[in-house]
Structure 1
Amino acid sequence: MNTISSKPQLFLLHYAGGDRNSFRPLLENLHSYFQIETPELPGRGNRMAEPFLKNKKEAVEELLDQIKKTRQKNVPYLIYGHSMGAILGLEICRIMEENGDGPEYFIPTGYPGPNIKNNAPIAGLPRAEFFAEVKKLGGLSDEVMEIEELLDFFEPVLRADFGLLENKENKPFEGKIQTPVYAIMGKTEQYALNIRNWKNYTDADCECHIVNGNHFFINQNFNYLAQVIKNLINITLAK
């Protein structure tokens, strides 16, 4: 049973290969400020026994269902997503807006917004080539890439998540959301210099920031990220 609280809500959407525990350091920084919800796609974490999803539409519907079940409409909320979580989060923002309950802010990290990335599909590559591409894209931290047992564990989840995002049935995002966007990318990410592309996908305020680090800059910047999120909810509550 959900506990009713007056604290604002924060929905954290995990990256490819991630699960509901991917942002644990962020939870430790923010649990006293927010009711934190961590939706999780099947095939990992607490849902290891469930089959993977096949396309972006299925993933958005699955996360939306979890968000709606825990959403308390009497309090403001934010959506944060990293990489795949940012891709799916944008779609979720639009649907929540259409339902009359859009978030106060959308915080995408590790993603320059729609219709920029133009990488060849990698989900079906042989193992060595697959992980070479994952490393190039920043899809796993350097620490994980050095341990074969961890690669064995992450390989099916990563292949499924990249396959989900690469599915030819996926429709490109079109139009704009009405939610303010606060986007962050790591300086050495492939498309970091395209981050201002986010301004094309919201009719509200849009701030774009580049920080030191690679695709997983968040792992060294959880304190910074927590402060950003706290600042955004403070702006909301001060209105």
Structure 2
Amino acid sequence: MGTWISTWPSGPGDAALPALLCLPPAGAGCQQFRAWTPALAGIGQVHGVQLPGRENRWREPMPETFDEAVEAIADELRPIVGTGRRLVIFGHSFGGLLGYEIARRVRPDALVVSACRAPGHWDGAGRGIVDDDEELDKLFDTAGLDPVYLDEDTRALMVAMLRKDAVLSLSYTHSHGAPLSVPVHAWRADGDETVTERDVADWAAVTTAGFRVHRVEGGHHAVLRRPEALLEHLAALLRNDTTVPAGAV
């Protein structure tokens, strides 16, 4: 298997900066986070998690289970973080669930999730995408992608990636172990029809170190499409600035 973590240096001394680990949503690759590097230059080093079956790993087979993927990512992350290096984990949608389980194995300084339901709400969540073409079309609508305007090869590739990630999510079962001892921040867009207020509020139960909800306007992927407020928040966490960012409730 190839490397699970991509790194995009922005200048000398990056390896001594705090680390930001970014996990993309289902059906997507991590190269989108490369664009965040200039905004965080001198503040933190950006790393992206790349699952098999996409971008530079498109020929590689998916892991058998969700836990297998999490263990592989955690194993590769430990030497990157090293001893005492600050770590912030960010995950969007399905990436948030992966980020949470990684945080249970490699303790970060903060966990940030967006458009992501709490772990106890994930059981069976991908079944519709695996079995139902109508459900897949709804997901394309959520992403702002009308399948009618996608060429056949592009649509087939996206469908394959989405279904692979959905199958992986179906192997996930939330085990109620010790809660995290790090703060959790959850971002939610007011127009997100796939993640409810309750889905987000229940993240409070996974940590003993504080929980905050941050709100933006838009749909399920609004935070990634207009990441300026999120990047400001992530920069503050990387700097260990305890000031509550604007927009937190």
- TM-score scaled by structure 1? 0.84
Deviates more, 1:66-75 or 1:35-44: 66-75
**Superposed counterparts of 1:47-196, under 5 Å:** 47-96=57-106, 102-117=107-122, 119=125, 121-125=127-131, 128-135=133-140, 138=142, 141-143=143-145, 145=147, 146-149=149-152, 150-167=154-171, 170-175=172-177, 176-189=179-192, 190-194=194-198, 195-196=200-201
Q: Distance in 2 between matches of 1:81 and 1:192?
A: 17
Q: Distance in 2 between matches of 1:124 and 1:75?
A: 39
Deviation at 1:71, TM superposition (A): 2.0
The one-letter amino acid paired with 2:128 is I
Question: Where does the alignment leave 5 or more consecutive residues of structure 1 unmatched?
Answer: 97-101
- Report the count of equivalent residues: 227
Identical positions, percent: 23
Q: Which residue is 2:34 aligned to?
A: 24
Q: 1:203 to 1:85 in 2, by over 3 A?
A: same
- TM-score scaled by structure 2? 0.81
Task: Flag as ranges the 4+ runs of structure 1 deviating above 4 A.
Answer: 117-120
- In structure 2, the residue corresponding to 1:51 is in which secondary structure? coil
Q: Which residue is 2:5 aligned to?
A: none
Aligned-pair RMSD on alpha carbons? 2.5
The one-letter amino acid paired with 2:176 is E
The one-letter amino acid paired with 2:127 is P
Q: Distance in 1 between matches of 2:242 and 2:203?
A: 24
Q: Distance in 1 between matches of 2:67 and 2:122?
A: 19
Q: Distance in 2 between matches of 1:78 and 1:16?
A: 20
Q: 1:56 to 1:120 in 2, by over 3 A?
A: closer
Deviation at 1:177, TM superposition (A): 0.8
